[in-house]
Structure 1
Amino acid sequence: MDTLTTPQVINSEYLLKHWQGHRNLTRKVIDAFPENHFFEFTIGGMRTAAQLTAEILAMGAPALKSIVDRSEEPFSENRFNLETKAEYLTKWDESTAAINANWEELSAQDFHETFNLFGLYNFPVIQNIQYFIDNEIHHRGQMFVYLRALGITPPFFWER
């Protein structure tokens, strides 16, 4: 069966809604951190919430832009010089808008084309996008643990 004519379980619009639901929840988690703990608190040698957020920011919108432009840009976790939690949240919102805008540039065929993301991940676009989502969920889980260790109840994981 041709994958482009096979009935779909989810479509592009739903996948974007799914991703943005995760991004909405991650934003709530970031916002729950007290300013100092966002930049300083760690457990077991893991990176701070700010460092985890910097990675997510450096991946999602810039990587999707690279996919749309077909430009193999190297990964740069330090691409933004952010110093406050408010700056991270502003960049998060800007990234959300950029993801939405670039998503509109993707065709159904694009999801099946192979793209060498960051020169490291040579997979179909759909798998790269799933990686963005999985990576964010993974790091959000770490931030949930941090919040719990700080005595802060994180947002419910289903409140996307």
Structure 2
Amino acid sequence: MTNTPVVEAAAAPTLVSVSPTHILAHWQGHRRLTRRVIEAFPESHLFSFSAAPPIRTFGELALELWGMTDYHLKGLTTDDWSWHPPDCSELNTRAALLAAWDAQTPQLESAFARVEPGWFTTAQDMAWGRFSPQQSVAYAVDNEIHHRGQGYVYLRALGIEPPAFYDYMVP
């Protein structure tokens, strides 16, 4: 008789559903932290400094994030997921960018309050493929985290201590 180990079949993974309310809270936490990174930039460097040209400035990256939120607001409220780049020409100062950023916060709250969970997980034709609104929002959050990380590098290159990366959990 040999000592052959018994290997049991692994159980099928359990699918966990995350409510739109929880996803919104997570995203808003990241948006609060990104806002603090925008605030940390000196006005003179937000739209002019790049730690590694030709990489975009953090101001340009933040405008992309603002535009992605604008895209999701339109999709979440109208179910129109076509892409039309927003006009950011007036958002060329830190104050203007922060004001536009802040205006999106209650708009997101209002949009998510009307989201039906079944619709949120149903595939739609998006600007970059077929995804559910939930998947698209997850991409927007991942993109924000990535660009905020670039902002941290830029701030450190400028000799500025960025906000703690885990502060997205702090309201």
Aligned partner of 2:10 in structure 1 is none
Q: Is the 8 A contact 1:116 1:123 kept in 2?
A: yes
Unaligned runs of 5+ in 2: 1-13
Q: How does 1:1-160 map to 2 (within 5 A)?
A: 8=16, 10-44=18-52, 45-76=54-85, 78-79=87-88, 81-118=90-127, 120-160=128-168
| Mapped partners of 1:79, 1:114: distance in 2 | 29
Identity %: 38
- Paired AA for residue 103 in structure 1: F
Aligned partner of 1:3 in structure 2 is none
Moved more, 72-81 or 33-42: 72-81
Deviation string 1:94-125 (CA, Å, 9 cap, x unpaired) is: 0111111111121110121112223x232111
Tell me the matched-pair count. 154
Aligned partner of 2:5 in structure 1 is none
Which structure is larger by alpha-carbon Rg, 1 or 2?
A: 2
TM-score, normalising length from structure 2?
A: 0.83
Q: Is the 8 A contact 1:61 1:98 kept in 2?
A: no
Deviation string 1:27-46 (CA, Å, 9 cap, x unpaired) is: 00000000010010002221
| Mapped partners of 1:16, 1:130: distance in 2 | 10
Shift of the 80–117 alpha-carbon distance from structure 1 to 2, 3 Å rule, reads: farther
Shift of 1:77: 5.3
TM-score, normalising length from structure 1?
A: 0.88
Q: Is the 8 A contact 1:55 1:77 kept in 2?
A: no
Secondary structure of 2:167's counterpart equals coil
| Mapped partners of 1:80, 1:100: distance in 2 | 26
Moved more, 13-22 or 73-82: 73-82
State the Cα RMSD in Å.
Answer: 1.8
| Mapped partners of 1:58, 1:143: distance in 2 | 17
Deviation string 1:64-86 (CA, Å, 9 cap, x unpaired) is: 32233111331415445212100
Q: Is the 8 A contact 1:63 1:117 kept in 2?
A: no
Q: Is the 8 A contact 1:64 1:102 kept in 2?
A: yes
| Mapped partners of 1:75, 1:50: distance in 2 | 20
